[in-house]
Amino acid sequence: MHSIFRPPINWRHRRFRYRLVVWRCLNCGAVHHNATKICRRCRSNRLAEDQLPSRARLLTYTVVKNPPVAFERQAPYIVGVVEFEDGTRLLTGITDCEPEELKPGMELERVVRRLTEDGESGLIVYGYRFRPVLKKR
């Protein structure tokens, strides 16, 4: 079984998956998506909860045509790397668009989508994806 289908792991990571709630090191600025007491980069114990912004810039992307287990039905789908204002980079699924609509540097916004499910009887996993901005500021 994919670990994300196990209830404790699904539950523990939900705030990061739903709202990009992270733990930021107040010493070196490193961002951790799991709750942690020690910064994995500088070993500082000065960490605080933070939330990444809802918008980011697209750095690069690719199209997945040979998907891993649990994502077979969604192929082909787009996976990309986005960068937030503070320089934090995130690997993410990109939705609601075709690859030819994407250009590096364009602004994307976070949405919560149904990522995968453990068959017809197991847990459904929800989490972030990014899409072209629906309403410009």
Residues that bind another protein (CB under 8 A): 14-15, 18-19, 73-74, 93, 95-96, 111-115, 124, 126, 129, 134-135
Closest among 45, 59, 127 to 88, alpha carbons compared: 59
Shortest gap between Cβ of 38 and another protein (angstroms)? 26
Residue 132: strand pairing partners: 108
Shortest gap between Cβ of 124 and another protein (angstroms)? 6
Question: Based on CB atoms, which residue is closest to another protein, 24 or 129?
Answer: 129
What letter would DSSP give residue 101? G
What's the rounded Cα separation, in Å, for the pair 15 and 97? 26
Question: Based on CB atoms, which residue is closest to another protein, 44 or 51?
Answer: 51
Question: Based on CB atoms, which residue is closest to another protein, 64 or 115?
Answer: 115
Shortest gap between Cβ of 59 and another protein (angstroms)? 22
Shortest gap between Cβ of 66 and another protein (angstroms)? 17
Strands (E), the chain: 21-25, 31-32, 47-51, 55-64, 77-83, 89-94, 107-117, 124-132
